[in-house]
Chain A
Amino acid sequence: MGETICIVSQKGGVGKTLTAVNLAAALALDGKRTLLVDCDPQGSATSISGTYKKKFTFTLEDGLLGRAPLNRIMAQSCVYYLQVIPAPIGRTHQAANLSSAPGAESVLKNFLMDDSWYFDYIIIDTPASFGMLTLSALAASDTVLIPTPCEFLAYRSLKQTMQTLVAVKNAYRLPLQLAGILLTMVDEEARFSRAIVRSARRRLGGRVFETLIPHSEQLRESPIFERPLVVQDIFSIGAQSYLALAAEIMGRRSRAAS
């Protein structure tokens, strides 16, 4: 069984998309068959995932509305083992208005259940709002990864995100587990940033990933190249941190399996 990881946060600008894309690419570079699902109607993950095609006949919307199967929607990225389910960039995302009828939250899970395809990891990027798309992403996932920048307001919103996730998990009886809190935009020079890392490690223990994503101009500017940073410049500090995160996630999984 592969693992489906939902990248989620109620706050925007925390590094969700950069994390989804670079983590997916890092796992794929390690030879893991990986699928990146772009659930954010803005389509940012799609645009920086390094797909060869830039215009798509079918998108996630078609999958959710039952108009096309997985294999017709998947797009090959510039990393051999990484496939992408693109968001409908530049089009109205009808799927965002999915019915709130009982069972509607399972629409993405049902779409991804395609026996003819196996993925070691499915990484789902979500919008900042907790709408129907995020709910269906959570229902399709085994674990959630919460990126959190090391700055006060973002760190304060972490508690709220956690409370919302627990409420959703309980309300819909989802077997969702916490993959971990990923501290992003870590500035070793800043007292506040160091204080957050120290406090998170002390109070949240194993709920926080060992890997830290550093504050990096290169990482922040990487979307301009429309490819994951782990492909654009694998030796950069940002790329190395996402490779370390992928290794940590793979290590946890193999330890859990043994």
Chain B
Amino acid sequence: MAKVTISNDIVATAKKELFERIKANINLDRVREICADLYGVKDMHALDFKNGDIVVHDGKIAYKIEFDVRFAVPLLIDEEGNLLGTEDTESEVATTPEDRIDDLSQQTNDAAQGF
């Protein structure tokens, strides 16, 4: 195959720069909300940009962004090692209006830490 660019690195560098720019402009609070809505992941310990790629979605160019998300998953086991279930923690999906309100209260409390 004939090469038409000066350097092999040009496309890779441009792609890296593009995703660095996208990464710098990502609203992580919104990503956290999306994680809660789509994947049921709440109160994550860490949310980091992992990598990105250019893909075709429905015939259009799209930017696929992957995140590393860390969150606790508690399991209850008895003395014999049998699984009893999951603890009722904030890592569960906000399924009821009360959960949603509680989520908002927690977010407001986090925001109020600046006072």
Contact = CB atoms under 8 A, between A and B. Distances in A.
Interface of A: 152, 155-156, 158-159, 162-163, 165-166, 169-170, 176-178, 181, 192, 195-196, 199-200, 202-205, 207
A200 B112 contact: no
Interface in B72-115: 97-98, 101-102, 104-109, 111-112, 114-115
Tell me if A's interface is mostly helix, strand, loop or mixed: helix
A19 to B, nearest CB: 18
B114 to A, nearest CB: 3
Given A155-B101, A159-B108, A162-B114, 16 more contacts: A152-B101, A158-B104, A159-B107, A159-B111, A162-B111, A162-B112, A163-B111, A176-B115, A178-B115, A199-B104, A202-B102, A203-B102, A203-B105, A204-B105, A204-B109, A207-B112
7 A-B pairs closest in CB distance = A166-B114, A203-B105, A162-B111, A178-B115, A199-B105, A159-B108, A199-B101
Interface residues of B, number: 14
Contacts of A199: 98, 101-102, 104-105
Q: For chain B, what secondary structure do more than half of its interface residues adopt (helix, strand, loop), or is it mixed?
A: helix
Contacts of A181: 108
A203 B109 contact: yes
A204 B112 contact: yes
19 contacts: A152-B97, A159-B108, A159-B111, A162-B112, A166-B111, A166-B112, A166-B114, A169-B115, A170-B114, A176-B115, A177-B115, A192-B101, A199-B104, A203-B106, A203-B109, A204-B105, A204-B108, A205-B109, A207-B109
